[in-house]
Amino acid sequence: MSGSNTGHDESKNLSLTVTEIYASIQGESSYAGLPCVFIRLSGCPLRCRWCDTVYSYKAGEAYSISNISEQVKRHGISLVEITGGEPLAQPNTPQLIHYLLQQGYEVLIETSGSEPIDTLDPRTHIIMDLKCPDSKMEQHNLYKNIEYLKASDEVKFVIASRKDFDWALDTIKQYHLEDICKILLSCAFGLIQPAELVSWMLEAKVKARLNLQQHKYIWSPKAKGV
């Protein structure tokens, strides 16, 4: 992979723009409920209609890879998620992930699926969105990424309407996603109710996991840094 020799000196020279680093419980994915340190990188080229992290669009603060690692270490938690914004919009993200893996962390990345994932260390646990039509960002889906998904990775659809749900079913079928990796179906918060999504899932008998954003039920849906 690119940056596979990220050493100590390089970790001081390479920097990324960071919005926030904090510890919380993982609210989504098959890791939901586990303590996790989140590194929220700044900036996103997309503008999903229902985006809940608009505050990450603007420029954050520059941190070297070793600075980020020091901040993560303070929390004493072995699970780390790189999120955003769109974390793969920054060129040094694969090197950051590689460095954290070398330090012994289990690393998750949450990506919009609009940037190539083939630069990532194969030990990375990838949670990749495929943007549904009502996000208004469907045209950014990079379907070639599906070739690089592993059985342990996860594809997430954020569902804002019945039209989105039907589109997700068609996409799952077209790309044989049930045979490739785990599938997450999430409600666009406030746009559809979990009970409604569950009834559609049962009716369709889709092999997917309901993905509630636990942090939005524990704290205020608008709370940052949780």
Q: Tell me which residues touch ligand SF4 (CB under 6 A).
A: 44, 46-48, 51, 53, 56, 84-86, 112
Q: Of 28 and 86, which CB lies nearer to ligand SF4 in the complex structure?
A: 86
Q: Of 44 and 108, which CB lies nearer to ligand SF4 in the complex structure?
A: 44
Burial (Cβ within 10 Å: 0-12, 13-18, ≥19) of residue 7? exposed
Which tokens belong to 58?
A: 């603007």
Which tokens belong to 221?
A: 């849906």
The nearest distance, CB 188 to ligand SF4, in angstroms, is 10
Which tokens belong to 142?
A: 């990079």
The nearest distance, CB 50 to ligand SF4, in angstroms, is 7
Between CA 166 and CA 159 the distance in angstroms is 10
Q: Of 57 and 105, which CB lies nearer to ligand SF4 in the complex structure?
A: 57
Q: Of 65 and 88, which CB lies nearer to ligand SF4 in the complex structure?
A: 88
* Residue among 54, 197, 46 nearest 130 (CA): 46
The nearest distance, CB 76 to ligand SF4, in angstroms, is 28
Between CA 105 and CA 103 the distance in angstroms is 6
Q: Of 44 and 181, which CB lies nearer to ligand SF4 in the complex structure?
A: 44
Q: How far is CA 107 from the centre of its chain?
A: 11
The nearest distance, CB 43 to ligand SF4, in angstroms, is 9
Which tokens belong to 108?
A: 């998750």
The nearest distance, CB 55 to ligand SF4, in angstroms, is 10
